[in-house]
Amino acid sequence: MSSKIKIFVTGGAGYIGSHVVKALGERGYSVLTYDNLSYGHRDSVLYGELVVADLADKEALRMTFEKFKPDAVIHFAASIVVPESVREPLKYYKNNFCNTVNLIEACIEHGVKNFIFSSSAAVYGIPKNCPVSEDEPLNPINPYGRTKAMVESLLADVSQAKDFRYISLRYFNVAGADSTGRLGQRRADATHLITLAVKTALGKRPYLEIYGTDYPTKDGTCIRDYIHVDDLADAHILAMEYLMNRGKSEIFNCGYGHGYSVREVVEATKRVSGADFKVIETARREGDPPELVADSKKIKTSLRWIPKYDNLEYIVKTALEWERKLPLF
């Protein structure tokens, strides 16, 4: 596809969004990032135009659509911290659901028919089956997961009523950093295990906590499916191109189809970093499933997605190299 194709990316200054903007730019697409910079960074937008505005601002949204005239929208902008969603549910329903309504309204008003949604494995809650297929019943257990599930329902309803097609990508545990070292996780309040582990390895944290060591897993700690952010970015490009070629609306899991335990991640981080950092074992956190691994056959078959970075040590290495570039505090 040529550079004439215009892609409107919300939240493109954030962690995952910036990697997708980079991938789009490298492939010659015309990109516009729409971001309020509440968590994103201006210098993370490596290609295209940046419009600093909020999705709650319908007039700014309308004017940007009219000027840019996008062919497709990729929607990342959302609040994503699960414990915060429990404390501040209104923030999450406003930002994740109401603002997505504004965005979809703008798409319908301006004839944009192709929409990629950044969803989450949180829509499954604590699934009964593992690996988890896209057919698993949705049972989110926190406001964050519920807002993602609500948007998926909204997209399904709009696609039935209008000439509008979407792909919802349900991410599992996204980690790592851009292989060229220009982008990575920059949130000070990041809660992901690999980010916390590399911070601890570099002395930015005094210790790493393991929440629960008595799960029914091979070593008693939770197992998760970790996907490198560059592979996830490729999945977005494939999803967008699929829709642009008149593909039908779909939902895909984004994961590698196998998992690593918390202890395995800790040991990998120690090996890669060469640091024997302090680890404290503590009680389980409420709502943590013992194992959460994607059944990713559907995306590999339908989109011919072939992951390039399915290697835990590589994921940790890129995260560590990126974290070394960031300030101590």
Active-site positions read 144
Chain centre distance of CA 124: 15
The burial class, CB within 10 Å (0-12 / 13-18 / 19+), for 128 is exposed
Cα–Cα distance for residue pair 208/197, rounded to 1 Å: 6
**Residue among 241, 204, 199, 227 nearest 23 (CA):** 241
Cα–Cα distance for residue pair 87/202, rounded to 1 Å: 31
Structure tokens given for 165:
């097609």
Q: Say how many residues make up the chain.
A: 329
If residue 241 lies in a helix (H) or strand (E), which one and from where to where?
Answer: helix 229-244
**Residue among 262, 323, 289, 11 nearest 130 (CA):** 289
